[in-house]
Amino acid sequence: MTSVMIDEPAPAVPARAGDRRGLVVVLLAGLLAAVLAGHRAVPNVHGFGSLLDSVSPLLGLAVPALALGALLRRSRRALLAVVLPAVVWALAHGGAWLPPAGSGPTGIRVASQNLRAGNPDPAATVAPLARSGADLIALQEVDDGDRLGLRQRYPHRAAVSTVALWSRYPITDSAGVDTGLGWTRGLRAVVATPHGELVVYAVHLGSARAGDTATRDETVRALARAVRADRAERLVVLGDLNTATTDRVFTPLTRLLGDAHAEAGQGFGFTWPSAVPVTRPDHVLYRGLTPTAAGVVRTPRTDHRAVTAGFRW
């Protein structure tokens, strides 16, 4: 008898688990790269886009986390995918960590500090700034200027509401600046420095909170209008602007003024909250000068670190 062999179909081979290994990491890496590259395209509904802009430098912290996930999954594909957000982050924010470009002799030094309302010892807060050699100190949330102990070293002062400017050089003119808050929380002063006349804005713009940035946004635009209309050749803006430089809302100011920290500082220059800062609402902006140095000073008794900068004519 002749036997007949019947070929049976081979059983289906399930997809190897390795084909899917690291797939979640790959997808997250792609999403992170897209957010880093296009966060300004996210609609600014209830201030969400503005918030995303502000924290965009911190999103780089997700890159090593994703790389660790790829290593744990032993996925070469996932590890290669993590390179994409790493490159996008480096292109967008890596330049902040390069050696500062500012150099040369410094003609004038400035500083700005939010003292924090109700500060129990504001004199202790400003003391490091006075010791730093700053020629001009702008302060926000000032309760009582006489408690600061600055008179001897800074004999000239201009103040309006809770904002003040202390100067080693004569202040020849000062006036309040309307930033659209309904009460004056900014001033414009003309300082007679040994190098020439310098216009200084000391301001505290409206606060921004999650889901509510409309007031802050309007104060940024109001300050930009004031600066645009100002004919001063040399001008400096000092203060708590409640806006990060990466925030799209900041654009009206960056179109008009340079950022001293971006050009003469190093790192992100975060100032708030003081203990573990995650953003930089405090700024030194300028025109008609050349920044030679910029930095951040940790000061006691307040929730903001101070910002400093040096300029030459």
pLDDT of residue 15: 47
* Nearest-10 crossing angle of helices 62-72, 23-38: 160
Q: State which amino acid sits at residue 143.
A: D
d(CA 299, CA 127): 8
Token reading at 134:
């700053």
CB-based contacts of 284, cutoff 8 Å, min separation 6? 110, 112, 236, 237, 238, 259, 260, 261, 294, 307, 308, 309
Q: Taking phi first (over 0 means left), then psi (-120 to 50 degrees means alpha), and beta for anything else, what does residue 15 get?
A: beta
Low-confidence ranges of the chain (pLDDT < 50): 1, 13, 15
Distance CA 159, CA 204 (A): 12
Q: E strand or H helix at 192, and its extent?
A: strand 186-193
- Asked whether the CA dihedral 96, 125, 158, 205 is positive or negative, the reply is positive
Buried b (16+ CB within 10 A) or exposed e, 290-307: bbbbbbbbebeebbbbbb
CB 270 within 8 A of CB 296: yes
Look at the alpha carbons of 58, 96, 286, 248 in this order and tell me if their dihedral is positive or negative.
negative
**At 175, is the secondary structure helix, strand, or coil?**
strand
**Which tokens sit at 277?**
């800062």
Contact 153, 127 (CB under 8 A): no
Task: Give the model's pLDDT for residue 3.
Answer: 53
pLDDT at 202: 98
pLDDT at 274: 97
How far, in whole angstroms, is CA 158 from its chain's centroid? 26
pLDDT at res. 146 = 85
pLDDT of residue 1: 47
Tell me the pTM. Answer: 0.91
